[in-house]
Amino acid sequence: MKPTLLVLAAGMGSRYGGLKQMDGVGPHGEIIMDYSIEDAIRAGFGKVVFVIRHSFEEEFKRHINTDHFGGRIEVQYVFQELDCLPAGFSVPEGREKPWGTNHAILMAKDVINEPFAIINADDFYGRDAFMVIADYLRTLEGSKGQYCMVGYRLENTLSENGTVSRGVCQTDADGMLVGMTERTSIGRTANGIEYKDADGSMHPLSADATVSMNLFGFTPDYFAESERLFVDFLREHGNEMKSEYYIPFAVNTFIASGYARMKVLKTTAQWFGVTYKEDRPMVVDRLRRLHDQGVY
């Protein structure tokens, strides 16, 4: 059994102001997504599913030229639109904001029947992370409620150009997630790595604290459970203009109810992305060095 990779890309048009600005950061004009797909192929994923929007379908497909995948991985597309809602619900008048990352996952419910991993389209996760999660997902065929996430060392996820927000994970003796605490304004200071709390006080964080970068793995039952939870979410928040159905909300709900357990997988990989525009030269340099080292 080969796991599937689900790439959340429906928000790219708004983030980049149109896909014409999708940034080529590799030495030959590669975009970050190219590296994720290459790493997934090498890790043994058998299919990649892109969640996009109809408004930029043609342009996206021009950027993701599947020819250079060499037929090594099956490619499918699904579409996230505001009106993709369960029966009995409609989009409130005036709402333009998407319904969130867990809504995006639901768009793939009819095309994924095997354990799968999800990633953001414009983040670099590193080859080791794909290897680690693919190996684990291959053990989950036929399972239910056995989920996983890749946990990164905090120091491997920071920006040199500003502070970041990260979900700091707590695990039990078996490496299962028991809690995730969102910390904001994390950065390097003269005292090490610190975060700022709501009243402006600074607090230390360990460089090897485990943090989530939204690289999760699920078994296919996640779709049905998430759809049921989405109905509850819409009943409570469906008339709001900016409410979003996020992956951590669903995961925390399933863990708290006892339905699911989530294994936290450790990786040596370095995560990076363009959190700030000043990060771009760093991303370009790191990718060039990976090419020079023969990784790509």
Amino acid at 37: I
Domain that holds residue 136: 4-145+214-262+272-292
**For residues 68-86, average pLDDT:** 89
* Whole-Å CA distances, 56 to 23, 53, 99, 103: 16, 6, 18, 19
Q: How confident is the model at residue 288 (pLDDT cuts 50, 70, 90)?
A: very high
* In a domain? residue 157: no
CATH code of 66's domain: 3.90.550.10
**For residues 22-37, average pLDDT:** 88
Tens of pLDDT, residue by residue over 220-269, are 999 999 999 999 999 999 999 989 998 988 998 999 999 999 999 999 99
Tens of pLDDT, residue by residue over 106-159, are 999 999 999 999 999 989 999 999 999 999 999 998 999 999 999 999 999 999
* In a domain? residue 267: no
* In a domain? residue 73: yes
Tens of pLDDT, residue by residue over 192-209, are 999 998 889 999 999 999
* In a domain? residue 11: yes
Q: How confident is the model at residue 21 (pLDDT cuts 50, 70, 90)?
A: very low
Q: Taking 70 as the threshold, does the pLDDT of residue 18 lie above it?
A: no
Total of domains in the chain? 1
**pLDDT at residue number 23:** 75
* In a domain? residue 244: yes
* In a domain? residue 187: no
Helix H or strand E encompassing 181? strand 177-189
* In a domain? residue 163: no
Q: How confident is the model at residue 69 (pLDDT cuts 50, 70, 90)?
A: confident
Q: What does the alpha-carbon distance between residue 181 and residue 209 come to, in Å, rounded to a whole number?
A: 12
**pLDDT at residue number 20:** 46
**What rounded mean pLDDT belongs to the chain?**
91
Amino acid at 172: D
* In a domain? residue 174: no
What is the DSSP-derived secondary structure letter of residue 259?
S
pTM: 0.91
